[in-house]
């Protein structure tokens, strides 16, 4: 794991990253505090790059891939930072000298196995939370159906698009070249449950969707691009998720795009294992917040069921109508009102005061802030006697239009 922070205002962007990397060899997990994760992507240009998550691609560490890009690519000046992010990630496609075809097959297998693990973990969550009814097969089929739909539709119900990095009809190529492997993995992982033909067919669909759809349920690398394009008046920040290489093409998508302008004059972005920073900025631990909202929603739905059930003499169809009305209309509206009230308080009491100070911060203060925010996560790991998956020296860089990429603190 890692902890990385970006702090921006109209003058500069400061990037900070720890140096811990987690290595897994079989059942052994080892943490090394020696990984550089922050780079000046293009010499003499105000563009920085950090990576987090999976630390390599097909066995090639990201620092080696960045070095390869620097040696082999001689791009013209980018008008906007976004253009640089697109150019770098496009350069990973069809890189046969580094990513051999057999290794790409293994990478697709890793991707699919990671998604199937997610299916099982989601089924376990349904079982533990009481949201899944029936035996293990029924719960697993519920999980498969939910994920199958999530790959096709966004939470608001709109269709989920295919990723633009893949050519048209790419899913058919995935099925053609990897159909045998897909069938073997489905048989290996799911045969003991006696799934229906529909669920098995949906698993095969998921094996294609997990490549082409704009949803990342697998382990990913995060790439953080920060700085200035030639026409960027203020600094920008672009985050990409990068996954497996399939049939020569890297699965990737822009995850976020943050800009500084006259309306948003400061921003903080946290990445990877930075829960203490999140708690500091938002006033509450993220996992605790999620549990509170989830528990509150479940209690509201449970209360409706209990109230409706307290009228045993009522007509069953009337009771069901009332129950559906409250569950589908009133509960979501009250929950959203509650969520909005808490979010507004967080914004006013915690987030805005920090952002207001950062608006007027100088370059050195931005760098110090980024370094200290990463240090909070390092301290928590150490003081709570957890495995120090965040730690080691903290690298800090400051990027300005005038001075380019400069080191504020460098661990080695």
**Lowest mean pLDDT: which of 29-43, 183-197, 396-410?**
29-43
What is the chain's mean pLDDT, rounded?
89
**Is 28 a residue whose pLDDT tops 60?**
no
SS3 of the chain: CCEEEEEEECCCEEEEECCEEEEEECCEEEEEECCCCEEECCCCCCEEEEEEECCEECCEEHHHHHHHHHHHCCCCCCCCHHHHHHHHHHCCCCCCCCCCHHHHHHHHHHHHHHHHHHHHHHHHHHHHHCCCCCCHHHHHHHHHHHHHHHHHECCCCCECCECCCCCCCHHHHHHHHHHHHHHHHHHHHHHHHCCCHHHHHHHHHHHHHHHHECCCCCCCEEEEEEECCCCCCCCEEEEEEEEEEECCEEEEEEEEEEECCCCCCEEEEEEECCHHHHHHHHCCCHHHHHHHHHHHHHHHHHHHHHHHHCCCCCCHHHHHHHHHHHHHHHHHHHHHHHHHHHHHHHHHHHHHHHHHHHHCCCHHHHHHHHHHHHHHHHHHHHHCCCCCCCCCCCEEEEEECCCEEEEEECCC
Per-residue model confidence (pLDDT) at position 56: 87
What is the reported pLDDT for 23?
55
pLDDT at res. 311: 80
Cβ count within 10 A of residue 390? 31
Residue ranges of the domains in the chain? 3-98+221-284+347-409, 101-212
**Assigned architecture for domain 3-98+221-284+347-409:** 4-Layer Sandwich (3.60)
pLDDT digits (tens, 9 = 90+) for 237-262: 999 999 999 999 999 999 999 999 99
What was the pLDDT predicted at 410?
82
Has residue 139 got a pLDDT over 80?
yes
Q: Which carries the bigger pLDDT value, residue 97 or residue 260?
A: 260
Question: What pLDDT, on the 0 to 100 scale, is given for residue 27?
Answer: 46
Residue 390 has pLDDT above 70, yes or no: no
pLDDT exceeds cutoff 50 at 102: yes
Q: What was the pLDDT predicted at 155?
A: 84
In this prediction, residue 35 carries a pLDDT of 83
Residue 13 has pLDDT above 80, yes or no: yes
Stretch 41-67: mean pLDDT: 92
Give the pLDDT score at 385: 58
| pLDDT score for 26 | 44
Distance CA 31, CA 46 (A): 32
Mean pLDDT along residues 13-39? 73
- pLDDT of residue 44 exceeding 90, the answer is no
Residue predicted with more confidence, 28 or 151:
151
Contacts for 221 with CB less than 8 Å, ≥ 6 apart: 51, 52, 53, 54, 55, 57, 62, 241, 242, 243
Name 302's Cβ contacts closer than 8 Å, sequence gap at least 6.
none
Please determine, for residue 136, whether its predicted confidence score (pLDDT) is greater than 70: yes
pLDDT tens digits for range 215-226: 999 989 999 999
């Amino acid at each position: 794991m890692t902890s990385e922070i970006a702090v921006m205002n109209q003058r500069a962007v400061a990037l900070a990253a720890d140096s811990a990397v987690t290595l897994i060899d079989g059942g052994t997990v080892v943490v090394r505090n020696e990984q550089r994760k922050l780079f000046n992507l293009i010499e003499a240009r105000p563009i920085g790059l950090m990576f987090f998550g999976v630390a390599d691609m097909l066995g090639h560490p990201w620092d080696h891939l960045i070095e390869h890009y620097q040696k082999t690519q001689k791009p013209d000046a980018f008008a906007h930072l976004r253009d640089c992010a697109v150019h770098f990630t496009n350069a990973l496609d069809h890189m046969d000298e580094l990513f051999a075809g057999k290794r790409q097959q293994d990478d697709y297998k890793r991707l699919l196995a990671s998604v199937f693990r997610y299916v099982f973990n989601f089924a376990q969550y349904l079982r533990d939370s009481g949201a899944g009814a029936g035996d293990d097969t029924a719960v697993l089929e519920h999980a498969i159906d939910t994920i199958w739909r999530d790959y096709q539709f966004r939470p608001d119900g709109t269709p989920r698009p295919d990723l633009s990095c893949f050519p048209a009809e790419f899913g058919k190529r995935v099925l053609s070249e990897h159909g045998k492997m897909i069938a073997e993995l489905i048989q290996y992982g799911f045969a003991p449950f006696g799934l229906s033909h529909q669920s098995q067919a949906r698993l095969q669909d998921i094996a294609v969707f997990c490549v082409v759809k704009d949803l990342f349920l697998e382990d990913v690398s995060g790439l953080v691009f920060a700085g200035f394009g030639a026409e960027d008046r203020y600094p920008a920040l672009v985050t990409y998720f990068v996954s497996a290489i399939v049939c020569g093409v890297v699965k990737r998508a822009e995850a976020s795009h943050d800009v500084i302008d006259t309306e948003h004059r400061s921003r903080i972005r946290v990445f990877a294992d930075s829960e203490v920073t999140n708690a500091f900025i938002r006033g509450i631990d993220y996992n605790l917040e999620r549990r509170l909202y989830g528990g509150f929603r479940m209690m509201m739905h449970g209360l409706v069921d209990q109230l409706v059930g307290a009228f045993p003499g009522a007509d069953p169809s009337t009771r069901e109508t009332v129950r559906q009305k409250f569950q589908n209309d009133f509960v979501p509206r009250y929950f959203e009102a509650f969520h909005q009230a808490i979010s507004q308080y967080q914004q006013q009491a915690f987030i805005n005061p920090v952002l207001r100070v950062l608006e007027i911060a100088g370059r050195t203060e931005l760098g110090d802030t980024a370094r200290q925010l990463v240090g909070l996560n390092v301290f928590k790991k150490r003081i709570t006697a957890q495995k120090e998956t965040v730690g080691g020296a903290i690298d800090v860089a400051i990027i300005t239009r005038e001075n380019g990429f400069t080191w504020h603190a460098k661990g080695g």
